[in-house]
Structure 1
Amino acid sequence: MMKKKILSQIFLLMLLISLFFSGCNAVKSPSSSPNYKEMKQMVIDILQTDEGKKAIKEAASGTSVGGNKKLALGDEEVKKIIQNEFLSNDNIMKLKEMYNDPTFTSQLGKALKKENEGLMKDLMKDPEYRKMLLETMNDPEYQKMILELLKSNTYRKQMMMVIKESLESPLFQEDLLKLMKKANEEALKPKKEGQKDQGEGGPKDKQEGSK
């Protein structure tokens, strides 16, 4: 079931991107086919429509669009789709260009957000996936890549933007004030108790000294 859900999402994404590639390849002909930007906008518009979101949801649940037929993709079918649509140099370059576009990746992420959250929850319950995830995280090459990413200017700028937006959020400010108030109260407690102990101990020490 898990495998079918993953493959169905891959198939849908490949279908959308293959349509995008087909439109881009058509630009090479002298006809009045849409250019790269127009095709990209078309894909974004599709992802934003109710029909597009419904298609993604049905694909993630394993049903065909508008019906109850279960999607059943075999490994060979997936390999064939990848070979036909993604392994050519021209399509790989277009794929890189498309995924480097913040607008497109943002809209794609929003459209797949709910489905991806559900998929990740299911994956985290899978012992085999957790084992693979831990192995990947312990891989020296992966750790090196993460460190390089954390050191990059792009990542730092993004983090600064996230921090700035968080600080400007009224909800975050309210939570921050509550935490600061609680921390202040906790910090004052030991001082009060210490002063109390000193106050109680003072007279006793004097009495013992007089004896």
Structure 2
Amino acid sequence: MKRFALVFLIPFSLMLASCGAQQGKAELDYEQSKQMMIDVLKTDEGKKALMEILADDKAKQHLVIESEVVKTTISESLVSKEGQEMWQKLFADPKFLDNFLTAIAKEQEKMLKHLMNDAEFQKKMLELMQNPEMEEQTLKVLTSQKFKEHLEKSIIETIENPIFQTKILKATEKQDEEKSDEENKKQEDGGQGQEQGGGGQ
């Protein structure tokens, strides 16, 4: 029951914030609503509830936020000092991070594809990658033990993936067939050459 209440507390608090801005009669003002949302998300139960929301397909469909007031509330909460501390703690939780990335993966892919075709974005990315500080930071990340462990884990997961194994098997079979065809062709060409040589005698 407690978990159920937490799952609906976040959207409910957002709804209250929206109504308060639009009608001026909400019991909770803007700051109280924002602080309540932050306090809830800092708790283990709050994080768990948010992860369940992000992982639930039906919840994704129903939690479509259209109000500009609510969007502004969330945006300002994210950039505030309390909001930044909250998200740092949330993203430090591996389970939350995994669910969060899974939930936004498709949208992220669409956004990246769109940005990669944008000339201004390409220019900015090139400038960023050529920045000495960025190069140094990237090198540190690539040579860190944590990245090596992550890379090793990703490689193992890829190798053990049935789809990847099937693709490798098909590629190997294709190479074997091509090699066999080449050898057969060489033998046929060699046999024809011997026959022609014998006929000339």
2:28 is equivalent to residue 36 of structure 1: no
The 5 Å alignment of 1:37-186 reads 37-49=44-56, 52-54=59-61, 58=64, 64=66, 71=68, 81=76, 86=79, 88=81, 92-186=84-178
**Shift of residue 50, structure 1, vs aligned partner:** 5.1
Q: Is the 8 A contact 1:48 1:107 kept in 2?
A: yes
Runs of 4+ in 1 over 6 A off after TM superposition: 18-21, 203-208
Q: When the two structures are superposed, what TM-score results if normalisation uses the length of structure 1?
A: 0.58
Q: Is the 8 A contact 1:44 1:108 kept in 2?
A: yes
Partner residue, 1:22: 35
1:16-62 deviations in Å (ceiling 9; x for gaps): xx999835975xxxxxx886322322322333345752376x45xxx
Q: Aligned in 2, Cα 1:52/1:198: closer, same or farther, shift over 3 Å?
A: same
**Shift of residue 182, structure 1, vs aligned partner:** 0.8
Q: Is the 8 A contact 2:51 2:96 kept in 1?
A: yes
1:19 and 1:115 map into 2 onto residues whose CA distance is: 31
Q: Which residue identity does 1:128 align to in structure 2?
A: E
**Shift of residue 177, structure 1, vs aligned partner:** 0.9
Structure 1 residue runs of 5 or longer lacking an equivalent are 1-11, 27-32, 66-70
**Shift of residue 178, structure 1, vs aligned partner:** 0.5
Q: Aligned in 2, Cα 1:182/1:50: closer, same or farther, shift over 3 Å?
A: closer
**Shift of residue 139, structure 1, vs aligned partner:** 3.5
Question: Which protein has greater RCO, CA pairs closer than 8 Å, 6+ apart?
Answer: 1
SS at match of 2:154: helix
1:82-139 deviations in Å (ceiling 9; x for gaps): xx75453x65444323212111111212222233233223323322122222333344
Percent of aligned positions that are identical: 25
1:20 and 1:172 map into 2 onto residues whose CA distance is: 48
Q: Is the 8 A contact 1:21 1:91 kept in 2?
A: no
Higher helix proportion (structure 1 or 2): 2
Deviates more, 1:108-117 or 1:191-200: 191-200
Q: Aligned in 2, Cα 1:49/1:172: closer, same or farther, shift over 3 Å?
A: closer
Q: Is the 8 A contact 1:98 1:104 kept in 2?
A: yes
Q: Aligned in 2, Cα 1:179/1:22: closer, same or farther, shift over 3 Å?
A: same
Q: Is the 8 A contact 2:42 2:86 kept in 1?
A: no
